[in-house]
Structure 1
Amino acid sequence: MDEHAVERSNLLNTAKLAIKSLIETSMASGITSVDDSNDQLRQFFVVMEHVLQHGIKQKRSNILGQKRSFFAVAEAMERYVAGSGETLLSVRNMPSIRTSLGRARAWLRLVVMQKKLGDFARELVDRRDVIEECYEDYAFLASDDASVISGMLLGLSVLDCNLDIRREDLDNLSAVIDFSRFLKEGNYLTRSGQERSGSPSAGAGESTMSQGDLSQLLDQKAYLEEMNTKLTTSVDDLQSRLSIAQKCNDKLQAELDQTASRMNTISEKHEQFVNTSSDQHAGLGKKLEEVKKDIDAERQTYESARQGLNEMYTAVQKQLETEIKMREELEREIELQRSMKGESETAMQLMETAVHEKQDTITSLRRQLDDVKKANLAVNERLQTSEETGKAKTSQLDMLTISHTRLTADSERLQTQVTALDQRSTAAEDTLQQLSTRYADLEVKKASADADLVIERQWRSSVQTELEQERTKLQVANGELEQLRVIKTQFVELQRKYADLQELCSGQEQTLVELGSRLQLSKQEAEDMRERSDQLKQSAWADDKQVTSCRQCGQGFSVARRKHHCRQCGMIYCNACSDNQMVLAASSKPVRVCDHCYTLLLQPTKSS
């Protein structure tokens, strides 16, 4: 056996003794609550520290020279053990602890107070990957003996530990095991040896057996009570969650009602906007028709003036023809603007029918408006050129009048026609100026209409975004409502399970009461048996070599008639005189007794 095997064996025996002495001492005294003053508890912490620290891997690059403690193992098991994160966080936040070993000791005491050390040890033994990562191959927890200690640690749930960690100097605490406690008279090693040898010590074996059964029953009761408290806390937690979920549901329902009312108001505003936009479109159509009629009338007057000018002057006729061409181009541009206006109206209708294509329509309309603006600029430039040509024409007319005055001798009729022509040209210029002013007014009206259209589009886009947000909120509320329904069904199922567990717990409590009563009866019977055994004559175990005949019938022993010891008095009898079987205080199974001892042992039972 190597050195590490010896260490593991010593740790196993010491841990067994520490756990047994702590539990059985507390159960024997009847006080299940222990504190810092209990020496057994202190030695238990020292032993568990050696067990958890045995064979732990150390970091290679440790500049400060501090050894690695089993607190790193607790941190590695944080994701596997439920509720260990809060314990580790509270240990890290302790200002009085500065070293890793001190934090490990504080963690060990907190886990014992929370009755979770057994669960942690069992989970750690099952996690071989964590053990391989944190411990060497020769470590105690890496061996099969660790499962024995993890099973024994579950019995600590019967104890209530009340410790004040802040008073102790856990960084400089002495970790020396006091083996003198386990070497005193009547300790557990001697007791276990007597049980293995099967010596006829009647009183000690029976009391140990009854006390062990009582401690087992108390452990089961404490475990059931702890499970009941856990279930109660879980049900309370679920009830609080359900109340919070109901509050959230009511809040979401109120928000849903508000959203529905907002959607109704938005739909009403949308209808009003559609009606006002249709009215505006109708008014703009009427205005455009009136402008068209005015332009037609002015065109007719202009054509009549142009015919008179063609009759008088051929040069003026050519210039007027160019002006007519320019006017026709202007009319074409106006018709283009009308067509673009119609296209914008159709785009507005499409925008009302298909909301999802609104952005594309808006971009196209913006492009069309830019083109219209460019066309308007071009028209203005052409109007300016036409005004310049009109001024040139007036200058030419002035020159013609001057030449006409010089040629007054030619014809007075020509003079009167020239004056009439001047008057007509001034009238045409006035009409042209009026047309330009009306066109400017129309441009101003069109700009205001375009601004109103942009505002309307922006308002519609904002309304659409608000509508999308309300829809998303409605979807989220529906999802949360479904989750609440699922939680409600789970809560009903948990209530049913809680009722079943309550019934099971009540049945188990009744069973424990019955077992306690049976235990009392068995204890009384054991005391009666002990009294009867004391009354019998205790003899030494007879030697086979000295006895040659049966003590009762006197017949000699041979190969056919063999010797048999009575397990009560120790004398030697033949098979016929010792064929009785009976359970004694020093044994748990029926053993051979002689007829005399059998009669003495059965007398009190028959009389009772």
Structure 2
Amino acid sequence: MDHVFGTDSSVYQGEKMEERANLMNVMKFSIKVLIQSALNLGSSLDSEYQPLKQFFLVIEHCLKHGLKVKKSFIGQNKSFFGPLELVEKLCPESSELFTNIRNLPEIKSAVGRGRAWLHLAVMQKKLADYLQALIDHKHLLSEFYEQDALMMEEEGVVIVGLLVGLNMIDANLCLKGEDLDSQVGVIDFSFYLKDLQQNDNDKHADEIAAVRDQKHYLEELNRHLSCTVGDLQAKVESLEKANIKLNEELLATKDRVVSLQQEHDELLKENEQIRHKSERHAEVNKQDSKVELETYKQSRQGLDEMYNEVWKQLRVEKQSRLEMEKELELQVGLKAEMEIAMKLLEKDIHEKQDTLIVLRKQLDDVKTINLQMCRKVQDAETALNTKSEVLASNLVKIEQMVTAKKHIEERLQKSEKARQATEESCNKMKMEFGSKIDALQQELETQRKRFSIMEQDLILEREKSQNLKKDLQNEKDVSSSLRTELKNLSKLKRDFDALQLEKKQLRTRCDEQEQALQEMGLHLSQSKLKMEDIKEVNKALKGHTWLKDDEATGCKQCNKEFSISRRKHHCRNCGDIFCNTCSSNELSLPSYPKPVRVCDTCHNILLQRCSSNAS
């Protein structure tokens, strides 16, 4: 029998899992179709928009899944507006929404109020936030839902994450004139099937078959719901008939009350007669009461003895309770001391990590300075070599100019001697040869022209020599500046050697500190593993403290802000919020036997712990 009962429970759980999966898939399709059609439409949506109607029907089914049936004097009540009323306490900004719902006179039932709440939450773009607040407080939802309901499982968290995409849509919904109380809708799966066929007709045939199966399943659910609606209407009719009967019975009871009042008056008269008789019996009763007092005193003595024994037992129990409270206080104090020690160890680790970072920065700065000094030395050496080559070429040019100047001066002296000789010969020839004077005068003129040309060449050569002298002086100045730079370079080399010594010393210090830090890291890792074991035990006793979605605006690890594309994910070990890339790992935890989402830091710590336990 136990075996059969276990198989039945496993089959029941499997059916519940299939129901949740089917509802989640239908919700995915409805949100996808709604967002795509709204983006293609490009305007705000109204209450007659068919994909929006289908979305409200699907989310109503999701909220009704696993609801507990509450019994009242009218009958059984099963409404999803009960858990939604918790949002007013959890989110104070939703008070206006509830006041608007209460001010609607046309809505009389709880189902109508729940539908009006969904319409207004979509208009405010706060539906995902409100449902997330409900899921974060599952201890409150357990009063309304069963343990295997969609809102109590992980599928509810997935659906809330999908609802964030609806913040892109603008909706303008008018609730006046709509019959939200008696509205009965059937989910139309043609939207979702069309969407699948348009995307890929051949590739996803299996997915289309699954959607069709889901359609048949949801049609059966709708049939069941229509049957329940018919039963409820029959119950309402029977209640109306019962109400008519109760009214008839009320009239009959009023007649009875009148007759009873008459009987009451007659009884009062009889009571007066009985009172006279009772005064006679009072004296007899006094004597009987005295006898009863004596028996009562005797019985009270026995009760006092019993009371003393019970009092002694109470004192012993109080002392044991005080001792237990002292032990609890000692355990709490030890836990607080362990937490303080962990915080101090973490502070020491952070300080040593900061010093390491500063030392590494200093090493990088020293390396950059050394590179800059080496480049400057190389540039100075290349400049010196080029300038020395220019000096050598200038000296060669100067020597050539001096030799050319000497040749020109020798030519001038020779030409002057020739001129003097020609003049003397001319004077002699004048005396001797009068006819040849004209020819000689022409030769003199040619000689004078050559002489003037030679003088111009001399002037040009002198200017060139002056320019060369100026270049020489400039080169001497440059050479003197280069010598001063060489002296400075020698000083820089000395500084460079000193910096290299400091660098070696810093490296040795860094190595020593890294060794010390490694030793400290080993001790700290061991202590951290112990502390995390204690924390896991405490978490297993107390439960995980999850960080609220409103408190986290960015990933704790990479500090990137959350958006529609970058969604929030809770680490099942530490409870903090991370992005998908920083929490892509999965591990099995003591509180979660199946592999669940874990952040990168918790993943590394848990793997280290497993390896240390294995060794």
Specify if TM > 0.5.
Answer: no
Q: TM-score, normalised by structure 2?
A: 0.30
Choose between structure 1 and 2 for higher RCO, CA contacts under 8 A separated by at least 6 residues.
1
Q: TM-score, normalised by structure 1?
A: 0.31
